[in-house]
């Protein structure tokens, strides 16, 4: 079993839709959590950090449930430019060990 699991998708949604991605992690010692975005043939870029209290950045909302070891990302009012792979990332070992999920592919269509 992988340490960070994501539904690979792809998710195909129309513009304006709301889409949610989920991620689970198996190591209870995990300390911090992130969502990264990766465009085709590009490097990963940090989208947002994830906190137990939840955090929101414009159309994006991330949530962490430590008890269930579950992380989510909600995208509202999807745009064509949101099409990308979304990577769930977990840090442990003092923040120095970074574990990536395999990513969830999103296609937003007009």
Task: Write out the two tokens for 79.
Answer: 């745009």
Give the binding site for other proteins (CB under 8 A).
Answer: 2, 4, 32, 34, 42-46, 49, 87, 91, 93, 95-103
Residue 1 CB, nearest approach to other proteins (Å): 13
Nearer to other proteins, 87 or 106 (CB): 87
Strands 84-92 and 60-65: what pairing? unpaired
Residue 47 or 78: which CB sits closer to other proteins?
A: 47
Min dist. Cβ of residue 88 to other proteins (A): 10
Q: Which is nearer to other proteins, 17 or 44 (CB)?
A: 44
Cβ-based nearer residue to other proteins, 27 or 91:
91
């Amino acid at each position: 079993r992988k340490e960070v699991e994501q539904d690979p998708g792809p998710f195909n949604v129309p513009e304006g839709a709301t889409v949610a991605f989920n991620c689970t992690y198996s190591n209870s010692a995990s300390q911090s959590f992130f969502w990264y975005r990766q465009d085709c043939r590009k490097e990963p870029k940090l989208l947002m950090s994830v906190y137990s209290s939840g955090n929101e950045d414009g159309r994006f909302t991330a949530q962490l449930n430590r008890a269930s070891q579950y992380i989510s990302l909600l995208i509202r009012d999807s745009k064509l430019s949101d099409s990308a792979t979304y990577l769930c990332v977990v840090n442990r070992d003092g923040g120095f060990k970074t574990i990536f999920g395999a990513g969830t592919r999103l296609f937003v269509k007009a």
